[in-house]
Homo-oligomer: A and B are copies of this chain.
């Protein structure tokens, strides 16, 4: 028998593990400088407990390498039989920084889907 309090406790633990990682309405997660495993946990839970069909791992600039790490660890280590990398897009936008200099910032979107 499942104890209601146990479920609540589990839920709290999970929230703790993915602390500060926000999942957008379109099932995308934006990679920043929170602890690495928070992002992995957020992605894994999205497939396992939220039953999502697809999730998009997004990042800009130096966080692009990290987004690839998150996608790889989530699919190869935790979701081996459940999720795969479906699509990868890269892009960039040019804008003026505070010093008035034109700079270009790259971005990546990695779509993970059910196997």
Contact = CB atoms under 8 A, between A and B. Distances in A.
Interface of A: 61-65, 68-69, 71-73, 76-77, 85, 88-92, 104, 106, 108, 110
A36 to B, nearest CB: 11
Q: Which of A64, A65, A69, A73 has the most CB of B within 10 A?
A: A65
- Which label, helix, strand, loop or mixed, suits the secondary structure of the A interface? helix
- Copies of this chain assembled into the complex: 2
Contacts of A110: 90
Contacts of A77: 104
A93 to B, nearest CB: 9
A91 B73 CA distance: 10
Q: Which of A71, A91, A106, A108 has the most CB of B within 10 A?
A: A106
Given A69-B92, A85-B90, A88-B90, 14 more contacts: A64-B65, A65-B106, A68-B90, A68-B106, A69-B104, A69-B106, A72-B90, A72-B91, A72-B92, A72-B104, A73-B104, A77-B104, A88-B89, A90-B110
